[in-house]
Amino acid sequence: MGHLRIALLVNDTPVQPVIDEFGKYPQIYERWLSESKPEDVAFELTPFDVFDSPEEYPNPTEYDAMILTGSAASAYAPLPWIEQLKEYVARVARDHPRVRLIGICFGHQIIASALGGDCVPNDGIWEIGVTEVDLTPAGRDVFELESVAIQQFHRDHVPSLPSGFILLGSTTTSPIQGMLLPYSPSADGAIPTAQDTHILTVQGHPEFTGPIVEKITGVREQRGILDKARAARARTDAYKPHDGAGAIAKAVWKILLAPSTQQTQQSHLKSGDKVL
């Protein structure tokens, strides 16, 4: 197989205890992708710090895919770097259809907001640690499981699907746990193949491990963001078995490696209801 070029849009810096042991997001994502990739795949992951250095954006013509990381920020916050990120994502999705987009947590929320959807606070309700996601028929097809377990750390969520997207799964706390945008809508309602998939997002963190979630929990508890009881439950849930490096990573790689058809995707997005 060829050499896959992936741009990582870095939307935050992890808390210091995570950095000390596991590195920043580029190192965490490099490890997750390297450990889960097919053996015959070579890739290059290039980070762009759009959080601290918002002038750093990749040239879409130089990359096969872009992954948007999580963040402690809220996708609805009226901050210049967040508005710039949404505008960039909308432009890439519309004008550079060859580039696959993968959104993780905050990245999932940014993609939804940029392409006609929304992100809102979830009444202060946290999802933390490994959480079981009930899959739709499309989700079961994408992940090849009846349900998936994924690490979580959020209290904002996407309340409804943007136009054209297909729901992959839900929890009782967050109805949109994952979504997929095909290159073009299916007339017969068929589930898109990897080759037909333009965008894939998940609300959880497949790149997180139990120790990472535990360290974030400790910092949030120290800062008074999580109370003692919620933090204790989060630490327990962080070490449950999950599919982040298994079925979820496999689905991401399957989409990243599938050939795409530029023209069909481009025409579909340009006919969408609302794109920034």
Q: Is residue 211 part of a domain?
A: no
Answer yes or no: is pLDDT of 135 > 80: yes
Q: Is residue 129 part of a domain?
A: no
CATH of the domain at 115: 3.40.50.880
Name the residue range of residue 250's domain.
Answer: 3-123+135-143+154-204+243-270
Q: Is residue 65 part of a domain?
A: yes
CA 92 to each of CA 58, 86, 99, 276: distance values in angstroms, whole numbers, following the listed order: 10, 10, 8, 11
The pTM for the full model equals: 0.93
CA 221 to each of CA 129, 228, 254: distance values in angstroms, whole numbers, following the listed order: 14, 7, 37
Beta bridge partners of 82: none
Beta bridge partners of 174: none
Residue 208 contacts residue 101 (beta carbons within 8 Å)? no
Q: Is residue 223 part of a domain?
A: no
pLDDT in tens, 106-130: 999 999 999 999 999 999 899 999 9
pLDDT of residue 261: 60
Number of domains in the chain: 1
Segment (H or E) for 202: strand 197-202
Answer yes or no: is pLDDT of 273 > 60: no
| C-alpha to C-alpha distance for 178 and 104, rounded to whole angstroms | 9
| C-alpha to C-alpha distance for 207 and 151, rounded to whole angstroms | 8
pLDDT in tens, 172-202: 999 999 999 999 887 677 889 999 999 999 9
